[in-house]
Amino acid sequence: MTATTQHTNVRIAAQSLAELAHDHQIVVAHGNGPQIGLLALQGAAYDPGAPWPLDVLGAETEGMIGYLVEHELMNALPAGAKCATLLSRVEVDAADPAFAAPSKPIGPVYTVAQAQRAKADHGWTMVSEADGECRRVVPSPLPLRLLGLEAIRTLMDNGHIVICAGGGGIPVRRNANGRMEGVEAVIDKDRTAALLARDLKADILLLLTDVSAVFQNWGTTNQCKIGQTTPLALDALSLAPGSMGPKVAAASAFVRESGGIAGIGRLQEGRAILEGKAGTRIFPDEARTRR
């Protein structure tokens, strides 16, 4: 993962976002799994005995990725467009069971030997993947509240595209004295995006990725693309917990709580998903029944 590769990937993303921004007001969130893992490795290499905490590394990735997205998006938009990148703190529950069961993969893929060495050197939790390789996993608590929402609204009201809540936001919790403190976690980016979209009263939430849609029986000879569905129908599916599962859960939560529409699909097809020409679109259960 080089700076050149990241610039190239973000440039592709910016083209899709610019198409949406042409005639829609958009707010952009993003992931940070590979980047926060890289920063953790760099910190561990510099001083193995004093690693940087994940909340600080999350803030660093928000700045780094946000800069790249803003830079390429402004290049893709016409003159006069306005954009702002914000660091976003997101409150989580100190008692969230996720802290006892790390599940969010970050960083590179390791061989078994490399994973054992990383675990011994840094105390990291490592899990095996289907191909026999390993990843580091960290706690991924649910977001409760996005702090600084009024700043986002103010920028939107003044015509800015806002890039915020990157990597799920900077995880913080309230301690026994009532003060906010950072926590060792990476919040699920899709859940935070759904929370942000709900609180901003967005009409639609788009979760854009490298898969073209949600599929039933994914990975089998009977796999079938789901074009239009509802949260209730999606509840019956068995989806991978580390990839499509969180996206579907976040999309369904947004639709249920807001009455809006959610879309899941390939990044380059954002506008087509919005228009119902690609991806999977999720409608409220009652609306779907009436249709």
Q: Report how far residue 213's alpha carbon sits from residue 193's, in angstroms, rounded to the nearest whole number.
A: 18
Per-residue pLDDT at 60: 95
Mean pLDDT of 121-142: 86
Query: Do 12 and 112 have their domain in common?
Result: yes
26 or 130, which is more confident: 26
- What does residue 120 show for φ and ψ, rounded to 5 degrees? -70, -40
The answer to whether position 266 is within a domain reads: yes
Query: Do 41 and 176 have their domain in common?
Result: yes
Mean pLDDT of 151-167: 96
Query: Do 163 and 43 have their domain in common?
Result: yes
* Domain of 291, in residue numbers: 203-291
- Residues 53 and 129: beta-carbon distance below 8 Å: no
Q: What is the pTM of this model?
A: 0.89
Task: Tell whether the model's pLDDT for residue 242 goes beyond 80.
Answer: no
The answer to whether position 167 is within a domain reads: yes
The answer to whether position 141 is within a domain reads: yes
Task: Tell whether the model's pLDDT for residue 290 goes beyond 50.
Answer: no
- Residues 187 and 196: beta-carbon distance below 8 Å: no
Task: Tell whether the model's pLDDT for residue 24 goes beyond 50.
Answer: yes
Query: Do 12 and 153 have their domain in common?
Result: yes
Task: Tell whether the model's pLDDT for residue 174 goes beyond 70.
Answer: yes
Query: Do 158 and 285 have their domain in common?
Result: no
Q: Looking at 185, 216, 245, which one is the last position of a domain?
A: 185
CA angle (55 as vertex; 183, 84 as ends), nearest 5: 135
Query: Do 3 and 142 have their domain in common?
Result: yes
Q: Which amino acid would we find at residue 228? A: Q
Average pLDDT, the chain: 90
Per-residue pLDDT at 105: 84
pLDDT category of residue 178 using cuts at 50, 70 and 90: confident
**Per-position DSSP letters for 167-179, written without gaps between them:** GG-EEEEE-TTS-
Query: Do 147 and 8 have their domain in common?
Result: yes
pLDDT category of residue 281 using cuts at 50, 70 and 90: very high
The CATH number of residue 61's host domain is 3.40.1160.10
The domain tally of the chain equals 2
Among 25-29, 87-91, 136-140, which is the least confidently predicted range?
136-140
Query: Do 154 and 223 have their domain in common?
Result: no
Q: Report how far residue 180's alpha carbon sits from residue 171's, in angstroms, rounded to the nearest whole number.
A: 10
Per-residue pLDDT at 172: 96
Can you tell me whether residue 45 is helix, strand or coil? Answer: helix
pLDDT category of residue 130 using cuts at 50, 70 and 90: low
